[in-house]
Amino acid sequence: MLLNTSVRYLKGIGPKRAKVFNAAGINVIEDLLYYFPRRYEDRTKFVLIKDLKEGETQTIKAQVLAKGKRQSWRRRRFSIFELEAADNTGRVSCVWFNQPYLDDYFKVGSTVILYGKVERYGSRLQMSSPEFEFVSGDNDEALNIARIVPVYSLPAGLSQRTFRRFIKNILDEFLPKINDFLPFDIRSKNNLLNLAKALIDIHFPENFELQKEAFRRLSFEEFFLFQMLLVLRKAKKKQKQGIAHKAGGLLMKEYISGLPFELTYAQEQVIREIISDMAKPQAMQRLLQGDVGSGKTVVAVIAALTAIEGGYQAAIMAPTEVLARQHYEKIRCQVLGIRYQGRKIKICLLAGNANKKEKEALYRQIENGEVDLVIGTHALLEAKVKFKQLGLVVIDEQHKFGVGQRALLPQKGPNPDVLIMTATPIPRTLAITLYGDLDVSVIKQLPPGRIPVETLHFALSQQHKAYEIARQQLALGRQVFIVYPVIEESYALDIAGAKKMYERLRLSEFKDFKSGLIHGKMKQGEQDKIMAAFAKKEFGVLVCTTVLEVGIDIPEATCMIIEHSERFGLSQLHQLRGRVGRGPYKSFCVLVSDAQTEDAKLRIAAMLKSSDGFYVAEEDLRIRGPGEFFGRRQHGLAELKIGDPLAQMQLLKRAREEAIGLVEKDPHLLLRPNQLLKEKLLHRFPEYEELILIG
């Protein structure tokens, strides 16, 4: 309760300044304690100006000798503020661009601390846009000079000195009053600092070793609380009575025997895991990972048939109408001859563009139990959709749905089994950790006979080579995708757009072939119409944006050109590549770009090196970091202010093991040593109150 006090009541803040703090995400005292420095400056010894090194980011303490502002002669309305600073060993120039107000801040003769990158400008060294802080000679020097100094991302209008003083006052006043919620045995076993010591050493460390220990303790704490939620959620799901489906039924065997191909060993292994789950009286909660084209849909159909044979309904939810319709057409053909209790299995498609009369009829059939398998988009989540006996929910491309959306469909049945599928491979260790409430299955094997897609890279000056490959494929009767990152041409980014290039290409490089255009601003019905025409081979070249990323299956498409490929993420490039090579023909993915940044070069290199989605995922994770890779909001990573799952994987695994062990011993957190932990979980995650109060 103490830590939940609003910051407006703190000395020196008040209602007006509290709004500034609130805008920075600091609402209560605990937010201030956990508002960590973004970096540190070692001010125990400043770099002398004579020792400054070009290319390095360094900190100096110097006196302002001269200052001035001027307009750039190259660009109108572009100002330059410059000052000359010196210590006993030399002088250095500092420049800031378009910040003329700095002229009022700096006074000649004042002492200033400057932190920035040292660059060479002609014959002299200079710092460009360095961070600065004035040495005032007041009582705050103990926090700001001759020590390791924290540097924060500041709320608007506050200086580093003012903010450090707030943090120091809070630590002094409140740390003696708070107890450590991490159970003592967990701290002891993992050699972790207590909470008070960790908070002092993260803000004002005496040395970097202590800062490192504080960082480790607070990272563990974040991982542990996050894992406690996942472990409690899994425990709660196991407590609820589910459906014990009959394993290995006749429908499944008949379906497998009718397939025109053999299942891979990986598919068979995953099917065993899923059927074993479905046979248990607890509801299945399983994540199925498989690269593009690995055969996840077949596995989903087998799970659906297992549910149907026991008298239950199944639902498959896809993120787009194109993908939902594709699933519907493919599955309907595959189960056409299979009969259940003397009748054909009834499958229906429920999508947003169906007319009202058709929808009303489908709603009645689903509610009456006349439909065995419903395939649809988020239209399945509508309140009017009621199932008679929903026994299995399959969510395809789960990352395209919000957390709340994913939870809605299973609520339409008596605790049905849930199978979540994704073609975006996630490194297994991280999948187990971040989907801790799910069991994880992986299909890493592609069907036999699948010819690997050849990936090539050309600079923009060699674009004609990419078009030549495309024309060769078109001459063989194949089809081609040409993908652009934007719809309209962007002068700011210096990249071509799909619309303009469609007009140009169909009249030049591909004038001998029919072309089509599709992009995200078109109405869904129009998109579906164009895709259907392309699937029927009414034209050979499809110019498009990333609407293709998920689920389009065109066996005749053997060439994809990705223009300005440096503008795409790595997983996006891999997903796009998965749209070709789905038939029996040799296929090509051609990346056209002049990659400038290091990250863009790494993405291109990863695509050229491997077609293995799991290798690509590892590289994507390494390049982007976990926050961007997973989407912090979606996976609860928004709670991780300091921990880094990728860099601290072993610590995260330890935190998960401790959470599992604690919940096994005390599933309702009733034991006295766990009372503070329970309070902390309720305070930190009030939206999960029902889950935490599991007893």
The Cα–Cα gap between 113 and 133 comes to 5
Using one digit for the tens of pLDDT, what is the confidence trace for 397-421? 755 555 555 567 788 888 899 998 8
In angstroms, rounded to a whole number, what is the distance separating the alpha carbons of residues 605 and 553?
Answer: 26
Q: Taking 60 as the threshold, does the pLDDT of residue 491 lie above it? A: no
Q: Is residue 434 over pLDDT 70?
A: no
What is the structure's pLDDT at 427?
67
Q: Are 95 and 125 spatial neighbours (Cβ–Cβ below 8 Å)?
A: no
Q: What is the DSSP letter of 672?
A: G
In 3-state terms, what secondary structure has residue 302? Answer: helix
Instruction: Note whether residue 567 is domain-resident.
Output: yes
Burial 486-519 (b: 16+ CB within 10 A, else e): bbeeeeeeebbbbbebbeebbeebbeebebbbbb
Quick one: average pLDDT of 490-509? 73
User: How many CB atoms within 10 Å of residue 166?
Assistant: 22
Q: Which of 107-116, 395-404, 524-533 has the lowest mean pLDDT?
A: 395-404
Confidence of residue 493 (pLDDT cuts 50, 70, 90): very low
Q: Write the DSSP string, 242-276.
A: ---PPSS-HHHHHHHHTSSSPPPHHHHHHHHHHHH
Q: Are 479 and 351 found together in one domain?
A: no
Q: Which amino acid is at 355?
A: N
11: domain CATH number?
1.10.150
* pLDDT of residue 549 exceeding 60: no
Determine the average pLDDT of the residues in 388-399: 84
Is 356 or 278 the better-scoring residue by pLDDT?
278
54: how many CB neighbours lie within 10 A of its CB?
9
Cβ–Cβ under 8 Å, residues 604 and 564:
no
Identify which of 510, 437, 522, 434 has the alpha carbon closest to the alpha carbon of residue 479: 510
pTM of the predicted model, to two decimals? 0.64
What is the model's pLDDT at position 641?
A: 78
pLDDT, residue 85, reads 93
pLDDT digits (tens, 9 = 90+) for 559-586: 999 999 988 888 889 888 988 888 888 9
**Beta pairing, strands 347-350 & 373-376:** parallel
**Phi, psi (degrees; rounded to nearest 5) at 147:** -160, 175
Q: Residue 373 has what pLDDT?
A: 95
Work out the mean pLDDT of the chain and round it to a whole number: 84
Residues 302 and 335 placed together within one structural domain of the fold: yes
> Packing angle between helix 570-577 and helix 598-609, nearest 10 degrees?
30
pLDDT at 430 over 70: no
Instruction: Give the model confidence (pLDDT) of 252-311 as tens digits.
Output: 888 888 888 889 899 999 999 999 999 999 888 888 988 777 888 999 999 999 999 989
| Token representation of residue 93 | 């120039």
C-beta atoms surrounding 353 within 10 Å: 13
What does the DSSP 8-state code read for residue 641? S
In this prediction, residue 667 has a pLDDT band, given cuts at 50, 70 and 90, of confident
DSSP letter assigned to residue 146: S
Last residue of a domain, one of 610, 635, 669: 610
Do residues 288 and 443 lie in contact, with contact meaning Cβ atoms separated by under 8 Å? yes
Q: The domain spanning residue 552 has which CATH number? A: 3.40.50.300
pLDDT at 75: 63
Contacts of 106 (CB under 8 A, 6+ apart): 64, 67, 83, 112
Residue 368 lies in a domain: yes
State which of 562, 591, 610 marks the end of a domain: 610
Lowest average pLDDT, out of 195-199, 359-363, 420-424, goes to 420-424
Check: CB of residue 67 under 8 Å from CB of residue 105.
no
Which of 610, 631, 654 lies at the terminal end of a domain, its last residue?
Answer: 610
Q: Is residue 99 part of a domain?
A: yes
Residue 546's pLDDT is 75
Where residue 431 falls among pLDDT bands split at 50, 70, 90?
A: low
- Rounded to an integer, the average pLDDT of 457-480 is 94
Q: How confident is the model at residue 684 (pLDDT cuts 50, 70, 90)?
A: confident
* Residue 231 is assigned to a structural domain of this protein: no
Query: What is the pLDDT confidence band of residue 71, given thresholds at 50, 70 and 90?
Result: confident
Q: Does 369 share its domain with 405?
A: yes
Whole-number pLDDT of residue 658: 95
Extended beta strands in 89-219, E state: 90-97, 111-121, 124-128, 131-134, 148-151
The verdict on 86 and 195 lying in the same domain is no
Q: Which of 19-23, 180-184, 341-345 has the highest mean pLDDT?
A: 180-184
- The answer to whether residues 30 and 174 belong to one domain is yes
**Has residue 264 been placed in a domain?**
yes
What value does the mean pLDDT take over residues 208-235? Answer: 90
Dist. CA 490–CA 461, nearest whole Å = 19
Residue 676 lies in a domain: no
User: What is the rounded distance in angstroms from the CA atom of residue 496 to the CA atom of residue 502?
Assistant: 10
Q: Are residue 366 and residue 414 in the same domain, yes or no?
A: yes
pLDDT of residue 273: 94
User: With contact defined as beta carbons under 8 Å apart, do 288 and 419 qualify?
Assistant: yes
Residue with tokens 């990936």: 455
Please, which pLDDT band fits residue 474 given cuts at 50, 70 and 90? very high
- Give me 66's structure tokens: 């001269």
Whether residues 103 and 179 share a domain: the answer is no
- Assess if residue 80 is contained within a domain: yes
State the average pLDDT over residues 356-379. 90
Query: What CATH number corresponds to the domain at position 73?
Result: 2.40.50.140
Nearest-Å Rg of the Cα atoms of the chain is: 30
Side chain identity at 148, as an amino acid letter? I
Residue range(s) defining the domain that contains residue 602: 454-610
673 within 8 A of 662, measured Cβ to Cβ: no
What is the count of structural domains for the chain?
4
User: SS3 for 480?
Assistant: strand
pLDDT at 335 over 60: yes
458 lies in the same domain as 581: yes
Task: Give the least confident one: 90-99, 542-551, 615-624.
Answer: 542-551
Q: Do 301 and 175 sit in the same domain of this protein? A: no
Q: Are residues 272 and 358 in the same domain?
A: yes
**pLDDT for position 142:** 64
- Choose from 207-221, 228-242, 409-423 the range with maximum mean pLDDT: 207-221
Same domain, yes or no, for 556 and 580?
yes
pLDDT more than 70, % of the chain = 88
Question: CB within 8 A of 357, min separation 6: which ones?
Answer: none
Q: What is the mean pLDDT of residues 617-630?
A: 67
End-to-end CA distance of the chain: 23
CA distance 205 to 213: 10
C-alpha span between 525 and 542 (Å, rounded): 17
Task: With a cut of 60, say whether residue 633 has pLDDT above it.
Answer: no
The pLDDT score that the predictor gives to residue 145 is 73
What number is the average pLDDT over the span 92-98?
A: 90
Strands (E) in 122-243, as ranges, are: 124-128, 131-134, 148-151
Q: Supply the pLDDT for residue 87.
A: 92
Q: Which residues contact 19 (CB under 8 A, 6 or more apart)?
A: none
Nearest-10 Cα torsion for 495, 497, 498, 501: -80
Same domain, yes or no, for 191 and 87? Answer: no
Q: How far is CA 570 from the centre of its chain?
A: 12
- Residue 647, CA atoms < 13 Å, CB-side half-sphere: 11
Q: Between residues 192 and 282, which one has the greater pLDDT?
A: 192
Residue 159 lies in a domain: no
The pLDDT, as a whole number, for residue 336 is 76
